[in-house]
Structure 1
């Protein structure tokens, strides 16, 4: 589980932990280390919470902009467990403008956007997803099963998403389709996952700008991944875009409050 110190990545780790999974979580923010954002959360903290909800959390400090760190992290998982059932690529870059003082709302047109934002999204996002997947694929191919999930966004199909972000997410989706072509004969599935509006730490800090009435918790996204991982016929989804809200209806799971986001359902009770 990459990029899991906080946000969607942490929520996915917890969703897998709920099902008793051993979850190796990676991130740059360590207990006692220098802050990487002004937001709370560390890779060790996420691992502890995974264990608390019923799984086994293992923290690996890793900066996925460094290919060698990525390869070492994947090799450690394979060495310690002998297999790799699910890889979730969530790490991303280019969000620094949310806390570095950049008045990004003044950017009107792609020509006003710093070039390094493109580089950050493709290096810490698209490239990191590719390198981690390439490192994990041999283990999955050898065992004849596995699931790779790339966290993406419907920005991939929106013309108003901003050029760097929209192109990077479209590249992520296309990468999944091509990976799925290579992996299908080996019984390994690859999908792009679109969460809805997720109540991450960043979103909650700016809650006045969002309509959260039909939003989802980070852990709901985790339950979507857990449902896919538990599906013996998950290969039918390979190469596709799947949405967390649609998976909630298909696999009949709910959010922490009993609701199914994306439907405006009333709280669900057994």
Structure 2
């Protein structure tokens, strides 16, 4: 018997170059899993996002955390590449226990506050390809291996819970791309149930990603200095928070109780008892519901 909850388990973290995807991969590794880390940016080539983080770095962080990280350059919009990735996992391990559909990379295409007819059509359609097609292609090829054993878990990573996304996201293409994973999880929950599998959608709160930290001119060490620029940044959470959420789901023998649900890192922290890196439990969506969009008088500190 292994000493870590995910010893012997194999995970595929699709879209784990940076941000939430990277943290999820690392926390799955910390729990003992072998984690295949995919994305388009490597030490030899950058994707259209044009950021420096690489899948090799993520895989090394997974291994350093106690798991086994394996970097496989993959464009999840290319079916042949995804099929080859899954075949590689099958040859090496013959199993897949956790699929994290976290592919995105569309933030650089975003324009807010404009009507659909005023937006660049090519940019909008590209967002849909990244946020919808890439997830479907990955599920198509990976799920036949995941259903070989009961207990398989699919996590559709998105931005905003189903409840939060009832508020329009101010860009129609973005709104569609970030709501689609909720329906994917709902549909996959139906399709996986007879095989003992579970599918959920999962959102971080106000995520302190590498790009967000740069936007605020801070680092993870002094992130609170960014509150002067935006007071709501006080509710921000580290990427490790959603990583711990996925690790908790993957280690839960009763994970099927969440099947088909739209979840947040804060909700799962409350349920499983884990905290963010500073020891707090930020409830971003509760804060936005009650304080930002509601009438409650409170501070972010009341929701940490």
TM-score normalised per structure 2? 0.80
- 2:36 is matched with 24
Q: For the residues of structure 1 that align with 2:191 and 2:51, how far apart are their CA atoms?
A: 38
Query: Is residue 144 of structure 2 the alignment partner of residue 138 of structure 1?
Result: yes
Give the RMSD, CA atoms, in angstroms: 2.0
Alignment of 1:191-270 (within 5 A): 191-207=200-216, 210=230, 211-262=232-283
- 1:158 is matched with 167
Q: Unaligned 5+ residue runs, structure 1?
A: 99-103
Given that 2:42 and 2:56 are in contact with CA atoms closer than 8 Å, whether structure 1 keeps it comes out as yes
Q: 1:10 aligns with which of 18, 22, 25?
A: 22
Q: 1:115 aligns with which of 111, 118, 121?
A: 121
What per-residue deviation string (whole Å, max 9, x for no partner) do you get for residues 216-260 of structure 1? 111111100000001101111111101110100100001112111
Which sits farther off after the overlay, 2-11 or 111-120? 111-120
What per-residue deviation string (whole Å, max 9, x for no partner) do you get for residues 130-171 of structure 1? 111121111122222300000012264222432111112222
Once the 2 structures are TM-superposed, how far is the Cα of residue 36 of structure 1 from its aligned partner?
Answer: 3.9
Once the 2 structures are TM-superposed, how far is the Cα of residue 119 of structure 1 from its aligned partner?
Answer: 1.5
Given that 2:147 and 2:197 are in contact with CA atoms closer than 8 Å, whether structure 1 keeps it comes out as yes
Q: For the residues of structure 2 that align with 1:195 and 1:262, how far apart are their CA atoms?
A: 10
Once the 2 structures are TM-superposed, how far is the Cα of residue 93 of structure 1 from its aligned partner?
Answer: 4.0
TM-score normalised per structure 1? 0.90
What per-residue deviation string (whole Å, max 9, x for no partner) do you get for residues 15-38 of structure 1? 111111111100101112245434
Given that 2:128 and 2:176 are in contact with CA atoms closer than 8 Å, whether structure 1 keeps it comes out as no
Once the 2 structures are TM-superposed, how far is the Cα of residue 117 of structure 1 from its aligned partner?
Answer: 2.4
Once the 2 structures are TM-superposed, how far is the Cα of residue 95 of structure 1 from its aligned partner?
Answer: 2.1
Q: For the residues of structure 2 that align with 1:160 and 1:245, how far apart are their CA atoms?
A: 21
Q: For the residues of structure 1 that align with 2:130 and 2:256, how far apart are their CA atoms?
A: 27
Higher RCO, Cα 8 Å, sep 6+: 1
Q: For the residues of structure 1 that align with 2:24 and 2:153, how far apart are their CA atoms?
A: 14
Q: For the residues of structure 1 that align with 2:134 and 2:233, how far apart are their CA atoms?
A: 30
Once the 2 structures are TM-superposed, how far is the Cα of residue 265 of structure 1 from its aligned partner?
Answer: 6.4
- 1:101 is matched with none
Q: Number of paired residues?
A: 261
Tell me the SS of whatever aligns to 1:148: strand
Given that 2:22 and 2:58 are in contact with CA atoms closer than 8 Å, whether structure 1 keeps it comes out as yes
